[in-house]
Amino acid sequence: MSFVNFSKREVQLKIVYYGPGLCGKTTNLQTIHATINPHAKGSLTSVATSKDRTLFFDFMPLVAQAIDGYTTRFQVYTVPGQVMYNTTRRLVLRGADGVVFVADSQWSKTAENVESFADLEENLRLQGDHIDQIPYVLQYNKRDLPDVAPVHYLEYTLNNRAARRPAFMAVAPDGRGVFETLNMIARMVLNRFVKQHSRREAESPEMVLV
């Protein structure tokens, strides 16, 4: 759920990076934080274990001039991917305006990807949202590894709903696909926000595969 402060002429929107453990959610944020224009970012904060696994969330605020006359602040979070942290995932997902589902492209991670996507659907449902109604994009990460599933297979397993969503191939540590993913979800979230406030029905997003 977005937030508008007319007094400060400010809009706040929340984007959550979701996906199985070790799929590269935190790496996405680290790459964005390391390379983005300094004027657009705040500090990147990670609540992690001593072994750098996300325990609670990573958080990074971004600012943009995306709406005429308003400062637009994106609050970007990751969830902890490990199965046992489902309660935490639900807490972080609360009020999300958009989701990036980061999938690990390796064949061996197929089951974890599918399980995590089902987990996302369920957690959205529990907070009164529906996966088909919320803006989300998919990112097929780790495309540089040797044993990756072909994109059409990932599309078949993860992007086979009635309205197919934008999907991006990525190598998060190198930055490949990282900003494409971020820009797409930011635009989708903004479009939905503007449409909701124009009291028009949202259109189904078209599929984009990069």
Of 23, 79, 92, 171, which one interacts with another protein (CB under 8 A)? 92
As a residue count, the chain comes to 210
Q: What angle do CA 26, 103, 45 make, to 5 degrees?
A: 10
Which tokens is 126 given? 């529990």
Query: CA separation (Å) from 7 to 4, 65, 70, 178?
Result: 9, 17, 10, 34
Residue 101 near another protein by CB under 8 A = no
CA–CA separation, 68 vs 158, rounded Å? 35
CA–CA separation, 62 vs 194, rounded Å? 19
CA–CA separation, 1 vs 38, rounded Å? 27
Stretch near another protein under the rule CB under 8 A, chosen from 104-112, 114-122, 143-151, 195-203: 195-203
Stretch near another protein under the rule CB under 8 A, chosen from 40-48, 148-156, 164-172, 201-209: 40-48
Residue 90 C-beta: closest distance to another protein, Å: 9
Residue 38 near another protein by CB under 8 A = yes
Stretch near another protein under the rule CB under 8 A, chosen from 86-94, 98-106, 108-116, 154-162: 86-94
Of 53, 71, 86, 91, which one interacts with another protein (CB under 8 A)? 91
The end-to-end CA distance of the chain, in Å, is: 28
Residue 130 near another protein by CB under 8 A = no
Of 22, 48, 53, 67, which one interacts with another protein (CB under 8 A)? 67
Of 111, 118, 163, 194, which one interacts with another protein (CB under 8 A)? 194
Stretch near another protein under the rule CB under 8 A, chosen from 117-125, 141-149, 154-162, 191-199: 191-199
CA–CA separation, 180 vs 23, rounded Å? 17
Residue 1 near another protein by CB under 8 A = yes
